[in-house]
Amino acid sequence: MTAQTAFARQFGFARSDVTIENWRTAPYNRWSFQNVGELVPTSEIAAPTDAPEAPAGDLGALLDETVATDAGSESIAAFLERTHTDAFVALKGGKVVGEYNAPHMTPGGRHIIFSISKSLTAILAGALQADDLLDPAAPVTKYIPEAAGTAFADATVQHVLDMTTTIDFEELYLDPESAFARYRRSTLWNPNTNGADSEKLLAFLMTIGKGAGEHGEVFRYRSPNSDLLGIIVERASGLRYADLMVERLWGPLGARRGGRITVDGQGSGRAAGGISVTARDLARVGEMMRNGGVHEGRRILPEGWVKDTATGGDREAWKKGDFAFLMPNGSYRNKWYQTGFEGEPYCGIGIHGQWLYVDPANEAVLVKMSSQPLPVDDELDKQNLVLFQTVAKLL
């Protein structure tokens, strides 16, 4: 059997079928979400250790349990398959209960986490804040002077962290003629139509005008905030994004495998959604947060920052915002979602079904990496939240 034949049997299509035009669409995303670096330029987030992972426990008993959602009752195994799950990891009290991998998912392989990248970028901001290198109350222009005259001119870093800026921009994932498509071209996520003169990420961000209202009033999910935060933490630290991630998170966390982040034509990292990591290493991030910023006795983040991130946020701004339908009693702080559920679980969420769910009350951390066909699927999001609540109580 040739390599090409083996590939086609595993994924149902040829490698040559996957292009920069279709890498985020089904069925090609089953492969591309594990191999983004073959399609978009990336920078390595080096791992501090090559120690092997501990063997995963058997999830069999858990997968046989039932989860009941608006779609009906089914086994957890059937739910994972139906919702296009590539990898699922469950931790209880810091121990890996078990791991599920779809037939096309490489066990221990990297997978893009899309907007959970925002949550990791906020961790970098929190670490810099603890060292007095970043002031969340400062204006954006303190770190990015060229933002004067843009939507961000009178915004603070905290507005950017909480996505309460008001900017003239819409997240239109499927509209090829929108400003969002231009945004993606600037990150090299979409085909480059202008050659070497293609607009770069920072240049695009500096063209965004202010929307209606004032900053700080309404939660508006707008990804350019998070790419801007990536540039802010670079300016505040004096380090490139990937190097800062290694120094402040990946190294102290003892990550087992290097991550990657997509970059634009100038090497600017896609802090809003370009990170790829393993499910186990992402679970380590969640466990560190569950432990109040500590990993194996080493403090990575101040306990107060973690508590504020896990329980803070402006609930009134949330209720006026984009996602109140998903978590009516929720809020958003430092690029993490507070669910408003019993026990105050919180999470990072990425398009196409990426989740990092932290439930301190049940000592649970859950990671779900997926290749959902649609970038946003409101019904699946609601069902996934029911899954996490169910599993956290079963562990």
Residues near 68 by Cβ (< 8 Å), separated by ≥ 6? 386, 390
Torsion of CA 349, 126, 135, 238, to 10 degrees: -100
115 is catalytic: yes
- Residue of 32, 43, 115, 268 marked active site: 115
| Sign of the CA dihedral with 233 first, then 238, 242, and 243 last | negative
Q: Which residues are catalytic?
A: 115
